[in-house]
């Protein structure tokens, strides 16, 4: 199994095969628009602008499981990202990342790289770095800023 074996929903509800991203370096993030970590969108966009032409894709999956900090419709989330942080990387449909209803992609990511206190994702802005072959290379805690991830991206891009 690899990330390429999964299909996810885009922001409009259409199926997107992760195979679309084969050969790209991926940073997969569960986000929330009303979280204390939301300003990380700025750093994520900076990374995307800097490395997109070298094969980096950042995949944004809103998650409302932590303090209901991703309220609103997908249109509202897209508008917020665009107007407040000028985000241009892909937005996907809202997902659960833990529990019985967890998105299969996130279940897979967690099985590859568990957290310090078990596999469960603890909060918004947990990040997974995936290499061009679809291997989950590293998992980052919500407190890890995008700027601190840059060197790891450079190494595998």
Compute CA 106 distance to the chain's CA centroid, rounded to the nearest angstrom. 9
- CA separation for the pair 104, 91 (Å, rounded): 17
- CA separation for the pair 156, 100 (Å, rounded): 33
| Positions marked catalytic | 35
DSSP 37-103: TTTHHHHHHHHHHHHGGGTEEEEEEE--TTTT-S-S-HHHHHHHHHHHH---S-BB-----SSTT--
């Amino acid at each position: 199994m690899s990330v390429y074996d999964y299909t996810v929903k885009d922001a409009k509800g259409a199926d997107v095969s992760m195979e679309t991203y084969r050969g790209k370096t991926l940073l997969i993030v569960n986000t929330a628009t009303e979280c204390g970590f939301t300003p990380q969108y700025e750093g994520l966009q900076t990374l995307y602008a800097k490395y997109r032409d070298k094969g980096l894709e950042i995949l944004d999956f809103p998650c409302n499981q932590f303090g209901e900090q991703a309220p609103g419709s997908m249109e509202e989330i897209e508008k917020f990202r665009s107007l407040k942080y000028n985000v241009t990387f892909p937005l996907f449909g809202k997902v659960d990342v833990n529990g019985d209803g967890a998105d299969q992609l996130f279940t897979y990511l967690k099985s590859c790289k568990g957290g310090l206190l078990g596999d469960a994702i603890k909060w918004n802005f947990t990040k997974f770095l995936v290499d061009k072959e679809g291997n989950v290379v590293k998992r980052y805690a919500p407190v890890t800023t995008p700027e601190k991830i840059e060197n790891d991206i450079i190494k595998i891009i």
